[in-house]
Amino acid sequence: MWKPIEWISPKEIERHSMEIIEREMPPCNFSPEELAVVKRCIHTSADFDYVHNLYFSPDAVSQALEVLKKGPVIVTDTNMAAAGINKKALKRLGGTVCCFTAEEKVAEEAKIRGITRAAVSMEWAAKLEGPIFYAIGNAPTALLRLYEMIQEGQVKPAFIIGAPVGFVNVKEAKERICSTNIPCIVPKGRKGGSNIAAAICNALLYQIKSDKDTDKE
């Protein structure tokens, strides 16, 4: 026999999901602010491995919040990650989301140079003004190019979410970002994804209180 369907109102689904996560989550030593990020990743993926693989550089959450309060440009490597970020919460802070990967000229340049569009998109993003908050959720080549530009002194990100997913150069790209002095949040290993990059952004945005606490809608 099938388990009976549990009918829950739309407004209660997330709260009920978080209750299940809290009940099933293994013991951990995260701060309350870090835990909110971990739980949001689990809520997005139904994967409790994020309890073990999510890396926070020292004071990462507090530094991320300070950057977000300045209304940064959040640069992503996919339109999917860009679409998943809560625009209402970000707009309230004066921030915007930008993704160059699908631009026709980026594709043309990548083809001529024999590199990925994601790598070229990081070079385009480096020309933006103001604090740049990177949220990489797909291409390790984007993270590797970003690392190279940091080492070359071409760019100094205000913050990095390094969450590409896959099997080729993914762990290596993440390890390089974690070795820099740039504040970051990185799910170590092969796991990640555009949805995880967006989830981390949202978990941070939701920690910045507004006059009307309705930004999750």
101-116: per-residue pLDDT in tens?
Answer: 999 999 999 999 999 9
Domains of the chain: 29-205 (3.40.50.10230)
Q: Would residue 52 show up in a list of annotated catalytic residues for this protein?
A: no
Task: Show the CA angle centred on residue 89, arms to residues 84 and 94, nearest 5°.
Answer: 110
Q: Within 10 A of 129 (CB to CB), how many other CB atoms are there?
A: 6
Q: Is residue 10 helix, strand or coil?
A: helix
Q: Within 10 A of 2 (CB to CB), how many other CB atoms are there?
A: 4
Which letter does DSSP use for residue 161 in this model? E
* Given the residues 43, 117, 145, 174, the one annotated as active site: 43
pLDDT, the chain, mean: 93
Question: Tokens 């340049």 belong to which residue?
Answer: 109
Per-residue tens of pLDDT for the chain, all 217 residues: 788 887 888 889 889 999 999 999 999 999 999 999 999 999 999 999 999 999 999 999 999 999 999 999 999 999 999 999 999 999 999 999 999 999 999 999 999 999 999 999 999 999 999 899 999 999 999 999 999 999 999 999 999 999 999 999 999 999 999 999 999 999 999 999 999 999 999 999 999 975 445 455 4
